[in-house]
A and B are shown apart, each in its own frame.
Chain A
Amino acid sequence: MGKDSRLILDPLADNNPITIQVLGICSALAITAELEASIVMSISVLFVLGVGNVVISLMRNIIPSKIRIIVQLIVVATLVIIVDLVLKAFAYELSKTLSVFVGLIITNCIIMGRFEAFALGNGPWRSFLDGIGNALGYGIILIIVGFFRELLGSGTLLGFPVLGDPIEKTGLYALGYENNGFMLLSPMALIVVGIIIWVQRTRNKALIED
């Protein structure tokens, strides 16, 4: 069991897909302007990566290695489209919320990365755990970035004003505080990720490459 639990725990810290492997950066900067979008994206990736890893793992002995990347792409695209269609038919409101994430999930390199690096060489149960672990590791970073960008950029968390009202000048704004509009722009996501990487490597010197 010790080995299995590492599959979940490693990606959370010392083998984090974003801060150590630097995968999935594209979505980390695209959708982290608000905490809510970060959470929705994390849950979606958790689902797709968990199921996708199991499917690829079950198919691992019959996939021709020459076209394995295309096969992986087809599997993830099919999964996402199936979920999208079913939601549109039976949970239309939810599908409206998720529709903008569909394209981002299919092209998320963490998903392809885990298929390629893990699911192709391991059994379904371990692949499932690996998928969940990596999605959680990805989600944690997304949520941290989303938290700071929404708090400092809009002064809200999950849409709820926590620092006061910038137009009526109440709370912190009465003291002359201003929202930093720069935080809402994509480059700041990379700077926040950079700070997380810095903190992480300062705490654990073993992570620093020569």
Chain B
Amino acid sequence: MAVNTEKNSYTVIFAIGMVVIVGVILAGLFSWTKPMITQNEEIEKQQNILYAMGINENDESSAVFVSTEVASKEFASNIKEQMVITVDADGKMLKSQTRDEYMAENNNKEPYLIDIKKQKSNAKSGEPRQLPLFIGEKDGKKIYVAPIYGKGLWDAIWGYVAMDKDMVVQGAYFDHKGETPGLGANIKQRFFMDDFYGEHLLSDAGVFKGITVAKGNADPKNENKTDNEVDAIAGATITGDGVTAMIKSDLKLYVPYFKSLKK
């Protein structure tokens, strides 16, 4: 039974059949795996936040999260509070809520699940923006972890920055969707992330300056912690600029909150 595969009608039927079969397979697989993938992503967010505040299982050279089994438990015991700060489009602080206050409102989910990308686009269209801030304690010191989100060379980059009350970085975690392996993708490597530890986000006069990922940095060992600079990755200029930009734009919004702590 030879089929004439050259006929137009056969081609159309084949194309339709193929699309239907592939569509059904992919849609089925997607809805079957979705709950598991969502759960994995939530655990990953918890691991990222814990990593930034220094709770991880790093060995000598590579970045290792706390294991997925204990992540939720560690998160619950180490993150004492999840604040949600609401700012208007100009960055003026409107209100700050605790986790319980926030979740009581409109059946909101946990603050750590707030979609930073969506909040950013809210701000662009002039609406208020919600900023989550995770507060924990390490070695007797209060640590504040804030999420950041931006654009690399190919796709999204994001991260979490842990700070003390003076906005001195206590740890950072960066991740990316599709930066070039071996170049931009190295923002999630220890040698890059560790450099941020101890860096000041404010100038000596207390003005927000952020941290610049600087090319041709005169301080490759990163001993000067008040220069607001870390050493860039060779061959990853645009990804590095993206990191600089997201630190500047997103952490700046938290400055009024940190100022209010001082009062």
Contacts and interface: CB of A to CB of B under 8 A. Distances in A.
A184 B234 contact: yes
B26 A67 contact: no
Interface stretch (B3-11, B87-95, B133-141, B198-206): B3-11
Interface in B38-58: 40, 44
A99 B37 CA distance: 14
A85 B177 contact: no
B178 A85 contact: no
Interface in A169-201: 181, 184-185
Contact of A33 (B6, B10, B22, B181): B181
A85 B183 contact: no
B14 A103 contact: no
Given A67-B15, A184-B183, A62 B37 contact: no
A130 interface: no
Interface string A87-99: 0111010000001
Interface stretch (B28-36, B99-107, B123-131, B163-171): B28-36
Contact of A89 (B6, B25, B37, B182): B37
A81 B183 contact: no
B25 A92 contact: no
A88 B40 contact: yes
B221 interface: yes
A34 B220 CA distance: 21
Given A85-B30, A90-B36, A100-B179, A185 B235 contact: yes
Interface in A121-162: 146, 150, 153-154, 159
B113 interface: no
A49 interface: no
Nearest to A184: B235
A65 B177 CA distance: 36
A101 B185 CA distance: 11
Given A81-B26, A86-B33, A31 B182 contact: yes
Given A82-B25, A100-B178, A74 B36 contact: no
A63 B26 CA distance: 21
Contacts of B221: 167
B76 interface: no
Nearest to B231: A167
B86 interface: no
21 contacts: A33-B180, A37-B181, A62-B3, A62-B14, A64-B6, A64-B14, A66-B11, A67-B11, A71-B14, A82-B26, A85-B30, A86-B29, A86-B33, A88-B36, A90-B36, A92-B37, A92-B40, A92-B44, A99-B178, A167-B221, A181-B234
Given A31-B181, A82-B29, A90-B36, 14 more contacts: A32-B182, A33-B235, A34-B181, A78-B22, A81-B26, A86-B29, A89-B36, A99-B177, A99-B178, A154-B234, A159-B61, A181-B234, A184-B183, A184-B235
Interface of B: 3, 5-6, 10-11, 14-15, 18-19, 22, 25-26, 29-30, 33, 36-37, 40, 44, 61, 68, 176-183, 185, 220-221, 234-235
Enumerate the 10 nearest inter-chain pairs by beta-carbon distance, A residue then B residue, closest first: A33-B182, A34-B182, A37-B181, A184-B235, A89-B33, A89-B36, A64-B11, A92-B40, A31-B181, A37-B182
Interface of A: 30-34, 36-37, 40-41, 61-67, 70-71, 74, 78, 81-82, 85-86, 88-90, 92, 99-101, 103, 146, 150, 153-154, 159, 167, 181, 184-185
